Structure 1
């Protein structure tokens, strides 16, 4: 079986690492003869935004790199569509496996769908219900033209039911969250970052969501809030290059109380997550830390429902109110809605079952949740 995996943004590298490792292990144990072809969009041009992830996480080097950096959204989609058509025609894969909801990935789906190659969508069924966000449009379109949908949460399955997927010949599979699995596996590789140590409590923050960094008032409010938080806790902020560029464009000078870092690798980020007291904007719960997500809505409903994450709009006073309220909230981190920790293996086994025409057997055994 031949699979083409598409990598683009940094979070996709993390997810792809889990599945690539599962493919290797499955092939090694069962001699499944799976060939994985890595196609990289090339949208990150700095080494600390892409190459460090491939090196640290042992992700196979890309077979194809399209170099779509510094292109407009339309130009990026067009180039990816043309390049991917050529690759699919040459490689003739059994599956195209696509992650997440980024700009370039929609072009991949269209290219595969046009020539009838099976497409599997990871993180299917996630919804914010805000059609003003391009990511929401990509999610909906991608789900509809995929053949198999791997859903990370029960809410994702429920969303697909409400949208009528029970009447379509598209399989929906509940398989857990890859972003939960990755740090469990790589935790032993965590390494110190920028000379910091774990002898003090601090808030770890990121600012990279487009609406937060591209709108001047939002960026000002977030940085002002972080500056105020420093009165109680130190603040560490690894800064995305585009956010750095926006600070320069808007002539914004962050408080000197905020310790700004260059982008860090995945192992450094795991270490920072491990020793941080609180997370601001990073939507994760695997390190059992309270998190404030600065956005108007989220597709990760379970995190909010179980009061692991707390959502707030990019307004200084509301961020500070949420921060202060967290001091009196007791969080139950024992609830597990992210899967068993074998998400990569589950995905690979289902693809193989589908490929070997054994899907009905899996359904009858209750392994695949077909709506």
Structure 2
């Protein structure tokens, strides 16, 4: 068991779920069998292994990093971030009646264990279910304010009986008052599923601003910087840029896309933007080094500064910082984790090889 990941359920609970093939734990953890070298989803229909022969991991890429192969029957890489049926049903219920207040008692009545739901939302969305509900309601209120609705109307329409309570909740969630929010640029976010785990995408009217893996340790700091330094109001939502990146990301992981055409908006320092522009020019399936980028920018001694700017890139995969390696060929630091970096490089290399073979 990976003891470093505190998001994993208790060991006994995972053993029970594995033996009973409990599909409610899809995406919450993965089982890896030491005797076969294969890892599976909790609900895999293959013969259940002995508990003493199993390791548990929170993410599919951790299984790969530990040397396990994906099961051909349950295909865990394909479902690494897909919401289990019980979560999807709940999300559908929220969409159908967004004003409903979900208490723990109501969740239990629907057959949903609140603690299990909390763990799933924390792992896949970075917040609890109830925090997500509050943010969602406030996001709807933000949309109303941007459309010219009064603050009073936005407060009561989003389910708040107290105007002062609404103002306090709004400012706590968005770090801005409702009045100032009317003139701010909303940064809408949505969750995307990928073979390497869930990602969060954020976009405003000018383009995609952030695309990161949800378990990235620095994610909360990045979002806070966007709020504090650039005045964004962050709220759940969807727009054309988010729809486009979802489609293009799916094509990328299928090996059918080598370049992204979604519009980008990348606020940052002049030097950072120069580095990010160079990252965008690294050809698909190829790699470069920090030193090479520094030389291209006319600053051969700035390798460390290039590395820092590379680390501040908010657009994983789209602005391909994973294609930057160490001068010795090593896989240097990657915010999404080195197993993911290795996966992305292997994916691109394999796609290039297939294209070359088809050309002959």
TM-score after normalising by structure 2: 0.25
- TM-score with structure 1 setting the length: 0.25
Pair member with larger Rg: 2
Give the structure, 1 or 2, with the largest relative contact order (CA under 8 Å, sep 6 or more): 1
